Amino acid sequence: MNENRIFEHMKQAIEVEWANPHLLPAREAYYPISDEQIFDASARLNRFSSFFMSAFPETIPTKGIIESPLTAIPNMKEYIEQSYQLHLPGTLYLKRDDSLAIAGSVKARGGIYEVVKHAEDILIRSKLLNPQNDYACINSDEIRKHLGKYTIEVGSTGNLGLSIGIISAALGFEVIVHMSADAKEWKKTLLRSKGVNVKEYAGDYSMAVDAGRKSCENSSHRYFVDDEHSVNLFLGYAVAAERLQKQLENQQITVDCSHPLFVYIPCGVGGAPGGIMYALRKIFKDNVHIFFIEPTQAPCMLLGLVSGKFEKICVQDIGLHGLTEADGLAVSRCSSLVSKIADTHLAGEFTVEDSMLYKYLGFLWKSEKIFIEPSSCAAFAGPARFNDSTEIQDYITRRNLADKLENSCHICWATGGNLVPADIREGYLNKADI
């Protein structure tokens, strides 16, 4: 499908598959962030492990490392194949970021990282912390009182707000989460139960972000977590790649030129999938193929890439309303930082109708008894349409992958779901006809 046809289908909210014509070999792609920055982020999270164990006992079994399992889902693979009468070559896995400790979503990576880095910077500057200390001391009344002089703010459709709100409150910060109209009510309720000040807006994600950004202007004690531009968020997400590499090795899953790795990640503004994509390409180079998946009504990253306008165009500009059941993906304008990186690193994109989110949710529950949020289920559009798409098959042919597909591994990235209340979960399952 050529770019003009892709654009026309996007405008009509029709599902599309797109292979990125600007994808470059890994050695030639755009790398604005260094390995050293990612290693530093990983080391900082390790330093905070004792604090995490002190403040969040659920992290004790993993020694304060916030990480999710990589789970084989062969029954889901079979369910997809039988339902769509196709053969998905290779194996299918689920990266369970829906079960990440503290925040129950992929946002536990970047969101928690950015806040703890800010806390560390303040405490070192105030001579209340030395990097050689046991960071469990951060849970003391003295340090919490000091951090309470500072405010953290963020604009969010849901899961980033949960991540920032929960960790900021645990550290003692004052915290304000600016939430757009499409944020789920239960997420606002959970944040308020943690002592977070939730401000609601009638508009979309961009309005919430703008409000948060303006609130923090010209104040040294107010800090805005900027999902559209933040390098620190990006680094927190990027740490996932080295950990996934170890999980693949532990499960004896080979990734090389004869064993390609396909990764499918739901995408909103782009921060989480962008950080993961970037670091995976650094590690696996041309042997990994990353696809983002977006709702048909909010394909902001795809729009930015196909148009070449990146963050300078929004979905309303082409007649879409940006509303979707996938609240974490309800974003009108893509990240300027990530879109320019994705331009040379991203293999391609799929867009998905809301109705399919519930169909995939039902498939996963019936086949594996695993529950994830509807927005997480967007990832399954990749495997379900992998063989059906001329665009993707052309991509396979151009990269000489056809004879290697039986040795391939497909990973769907589950971005959230663990904190969904029981009644909301039941409603989702009922909507999926379970």
Please report where in the chains the tokens 């806040």 appear, as a residue. Answer: 115
Please report where in the chains the tokens 């050689």 appear, as a residue. Answer: 132
Residues 381-403: pLDDT tens digits?
999 999 888 999 999 999 999 99
Phi and psi, residue 349, nearest 5°: -145, 155
pLDDT of residue 118: 98
Residues 158-201: pLDDT tens digits?
899 999 999 999 999 999 999 887 788 999 999 999 999 999 98
Cα–Cα distance, 415 to 100 (Å, whole number): 9
Q: Which segments within 31-180 are labelled E, that is strand?
A: 70-72, 91-96, 151-156, 174-179
**Mean pLDDT, residues 87-100:** 97
Least reliable range by pLDDT among 107-121, 173-187, 312-326, 336-350: 173-187
Residues 223-274: pLDDT tens digits?
999 988 999 999 999 999 999 999 999 999 999 999 999 999 999 999 999 9
Q: Give the pLDDT band (50/70/90) at residue 327.
A: confident
State the sign of the Cα–Cα–Cα–Cα dihedral 369, 371, 376, 381.
Answer: positive
Q: Are strands 70-72 and 91-96 parallel, antiparallel or unpaired?
A: antiparallel
Could you tell me the two tokens for 99?
């079960």
pLDDT of residue 60: 97
pLDDT of residue 68: 98
Cα–Cα distance, 47 to 35 (Å, whole number): 18
What percent of the chain is predicted at pLDDT more than 90? Answer: 89
Could you tell me the two tokens for 408?
């391939």
> Angle formed by the axes of helices 231-250 and 35-47, to 10°?
80
In this predicted structure, the answer to whether residue 419 has a pLDDT above a threshold of 80 is: yes
pLDDT of residue 209: 84
Cα–Cα distance, 384 to 87 (Å, whole number): 10
**pTM, entire model:** 0.96
Least reliable range by pLDDT among 41-45, 227-231, 278-282: 227-231
Q: Output 212 or 52, whichever has higher pLDDT.
A: 52
Could you tell me the two tokens for 127?
């001579």
pLDDT of residue 66: 97
pLDDT of residue 1: 59
**Mean pLDDT, residues 16-43:** 97
Could you tell me the two tokens for 345?
């690193």
Cα–Cα distance, 147 to 126 (Å, whole number): 10
The two most distant CA atoms of the chain are separated, in Å, by 63
Could you tell me the two tokens for 370?
């695993």
Cα–Cα distance, 278 to 30 (Å, whole number): 9
pLDDT of residue 434: 64
Amino acid making up residue 252: Q
Least reliable range by pLDDT among 37-41, 215-219, 316-320: 215-219
Cα–Cα distance, 18 to 49 (Å, whole number): 40
What percent of the chain is predicted at pLDDT more than 70? Answer: 100
In this predicted structure, the answer to whether residue 364 has a pLDDT above a threshold of 90 is: yes
Q: Give the pLDDT band (50/70/90) at residue 296.
A: very high
Mean pLDDT of the chain: 95
Residue 412 forms beta bridges with which residues?
A: 94, 264
In this predicted structure, the answer to whether residue 157 has a pLDDT above a threshold of 90 is: no
**Mean pLDDT, residues 37-66:** 97
Burial of 257 (0-12, 13-18, 19+ CB in 10 A): exposed
Contacts of 336 (CB under 8 A, 6+ apart): 228, 229, 310, 311
In this predicted structure, the answer to whether residue 99 has a pLDDT above a threshold of 80 is: yes
pLDDT of residue 109: 97
